[in-house]
Chains A and B, each alone.
Chain A
């Protein structure tokens, strides 16, 4: 155990020395911004900063951004922290996980507040106040929509769940929530996932090409799709015992589903690999400047 600790400490020290040396010599992990004056006011100009590639660092109005540079290093350590879980559960990973939980929960709350509560609820109930504060673009003379008092009341009832007594009060808004979801999903699923999928499966089994010759591959493809969907549906149809002809067809459905699950598995793994490649590119390109696939530092 002691040797293991020593090994990791030495490795971390070497890694830290490499990073410090590289940052001092190459200047990697720096973010540059370009200042742009978007308006002149009595209090002075309103300046926005836009991130630019490091190759543009000598251009006019471009300067090093310390907050974004620190951010880039923080992001790199966050990436490494999460990746460290590959070696097993460790305090570095747990720290990053805790930060992730806190930041993501609060971010969703903030987004919900500004996008829904302000833009939808408060705008409808107190349009005048919103016009004078957060939504100056709101048209003048907009009358309050008092029907929005209902969701306001339901919101208060929902938050009642946090009170020590009377948690049943929160069932009313919850029922609204459940009812709305059920009503909306019932129609949308039947329309897009049931009728539309059946519609897309009704394909010509004999396909001709543009020059009116028989298209073998097209016909085979369509036939396989139609037969495959039917086999899959037979497998999911449990009202009839899976014996005899139905059993044989259901067996074909099992084969089709196995191929589908295999394909979905391969596809999912490759999706995750693409995400991993993106993180590695961030580490090696944006942070360490070891590679430059997007030519961000050309001529430096």
Chain B
């Protein structure tokens, strides 16, 4: 009951989705399964949010180091959730001018839009931007031109980096006529269009085969790791 039923559910759902791709009669089942999947994905966010709340509340009640930050996380979470679910600051649209509930939750000017635009967006994009520093510093420490393959990696990275900057195009004016292909931007285009394309294609084909075999293992019940190891 605890392990067999989930296996049957996983296999049935998976094979229905595969069948729906090939048999037009079962197409409707496939689209319904995908809609159910989307509902469960939304519920998974509720589960994640609840876990976040539980963990942070625990941290605050135990007065563990950094509990103040846990309180900030909790406040930010609850404020965003409340203004989003209650559609605070949302104005009615011209289609339904008397019903503000019908307007989009992320309408320009609403409180959730404010939180997204002035908190989430700058924080998220700056965090990703910071990775530029960390990738560069990690590369500086880890990359060593110890053998020809490592030199190939480093030189390619250097050419692509330069080719995507203003300097890449500037070289074109300096190089003699007929030698423009030696400019960084031309070499970058060639590397991206030939070597990178071939390499990524080989990797993509490998990934597709890996995904297909892993999926089959799950559907046939060979891989049961998602059921966990305990009895409960």
Q: Check if B109 sits within 8 Å of A102, measured CB to CB.
A: no
Select B212's contact among A189, A267, A279, beta carbons within 8 Å: A189
Q: Which residue of B lies closest to A201 (CB)?
A: B201
Q: Which residue of B lies closest to A152 (CB)?
A: B39
Question: Which of A2-10, A12-20, A248-256, A288-296 has 4 or more CB atoms under 8 Å from chain B?
Answer: A248-256
Q: How far is the CB of A169 from chain B (nearest CB, A)?
A: 9
Select A272's contact among B97, B135, B215, beta carbons within 8 Å: B135
Select B76's contact among A99, A116, A182, A225, beta carbons within 8 Å: A99
Task: Given the known inter-chain contacts A49-B109, A110-B81, please indicate yes or no for A96 contacting B97, CB distance below 8 A.
Answer: no
Interface residues of B in 174-227 (CB under 8 A from A): 188, 191-209, 211-212, 214-216, 218-219, 226-227
Q: Check if B125 sits within 8 Å of A107, measured CB to CB.
A: no
Q: Which residue of A lies closest to B148 (CB)?
A: A255
Interface of A is mostly: helix
Chain A residues within an 8 Å CB radius of B200: 260, 264
Q: How large is the interface on B (under 10, 10 to 19, 20 to 34, 35 or more residues)?
A: 35 or more
**Cβ proximity bits A87-102 to B, threshold 8 Å, 1 near / 0 not:** 0000000111111111
- Interface residues on chain A, number (Cβ under 8 Å): 133
Q: Which residue of B lies closest to A72 (CB)?
A: B118
Q: Which residue of B lies closest to A174 (CB)?
A: B226
Query: Is B60 located at the chain interface by the 8 A CB criterion?
Result: no
Q: Check if B202 sits within 8 Å of A168, measured CB to CB.
A: no
**Cβ proximity bits A235-270 to B, threshold 8 Å, 1 near / 0 not:** 110000000000000000111111111111111111
Task: Given the known inter-chain contacts A112-B42, A232-B201, please indicate yes or no for A262 contacting B155, CB distance below 8 A.
Answer: yes
Chain B residues within an 8 Å CB radius of A43: 98
Chain B residues within an 8 Å CB radius of A11: none
Chain B residues within an 8 Å CB radius of A262: 152-157, 160
Q: How far is the CB of A34 from chain B (nearest CB, A)?
A: 12
Q: Check if B36 sits within 8 Å of A154, measured CB to CB.
A: yes
Q: How far is the CB of A244 from chain B (nearest CB, A)?
A: 20
Chain B residues within an 8 Å CB radius of A121: 39, 42
Q: Check if B39 sits within 8 Å of A120, measured CB to CB.
A: yes
Interface residues of A in 1-50 (CB under 8 A from B): 33, 38-41, 43, 46-50
Query: Is B102 located at the chain interface by the 8 A CB criterion?
Result: yes
Q: How far is the CB of B192 from chain A (nearest CB, A)?
A: 6
What are 22 A-B contacts with C-beta separation under 8 Å? A67-B114, A83-B130, A99-B123, A106-B76, A107-B84, A108-B48, A109-B84, A110-B84, A120-B39, A148-B39, A173-B40, A179-B14, A180-B37, A187-B21, A221-B193, A235-B202, A263-B195, A263-B196, A266-B157, A266-B164, A272-B128, A272-B135
